A and B are shown apart, each in its own frame.
Chain A
Amino acid sequence: MNEQITLSEDERDCYQEITNVAMGKAADRLARLLGVYVVLPIPNVNIIEINEFKMTLKSLEGNATVSAVCQGFIGAGIAGEALLIFNDASFTDIAKLLDYPGNLDKHEELEMLMDVANVLNGACIQGIGGQLDIDFSQSHPVVLGQHCSISDLLNDKQNAWQRTMAIEINYTIEDHNINCDLLLLFTEDSVLHMNRLISFLLED
Chain B
Amino acid sequence: MVSKVLICDDSNMARKQMARALPDHWPVEVTFAKHGQEAIELIKAHEFEVMFLDLTMPVMDGYETLEEIRKQDLPIMVLVVSGDIQPEAQERVKKLGAIDFIKKPVDQARITAVLTEYGIIGEAPNE
Contacts and interface: CB of A to CB of B under 8 A. Distances in A.
Q: Do chains A and B touch in the complex (CB under 8 A)?
A: yes
Interface of A: 10, 13-14, 16-17, 20-25, 27-28, 31-32, 37-38, 40-42, 131, 201-202, 204
B13 A17 contact: yes
Contacts of B119: none
A196 to B, nearest CB: 16
B14 interface: yes
Given A21-B83, A23-B83, A13 B58 contact: no
A201 B20 CA distance: 11
Given A28-B85, A38-B86, A131-B105, 10 more contacts: A10-B12, A14-B11, A20-B11, A20-B104, A21-B105, A24-B84, A27-B86, A31-B87, A37-B86, A42-B10
Contacts of B29: none
Interface of B: 10-14, 16-17, 56-58, 82-89, 103-105
Contacts of A22: 83
Contacts of B14: 17, 20
Contacts of B85: 24-25, 27-28
A20 B17 CA distance: 14
A112 B125 CA distance: 55
B91 to A, nearest CB: 10
Nearest to B90: A28
A40 B12 contact: no
Contacts of B103: 24
Nearest to A203: B16
Contacts of B57: 42
Contacts of A202: 13
B58 A42 contact: yes
A84 to B, nearest CB: 19
Could you say which of A10, A13, A17 has the most chain B C-beta atoms within 10 Å of its C-beta?
A: A17
Given A23-B83, A27-B84, A37-B88, A42 B56 contact: yes
Contact of A14 (B13, B88, B104, B105): B13
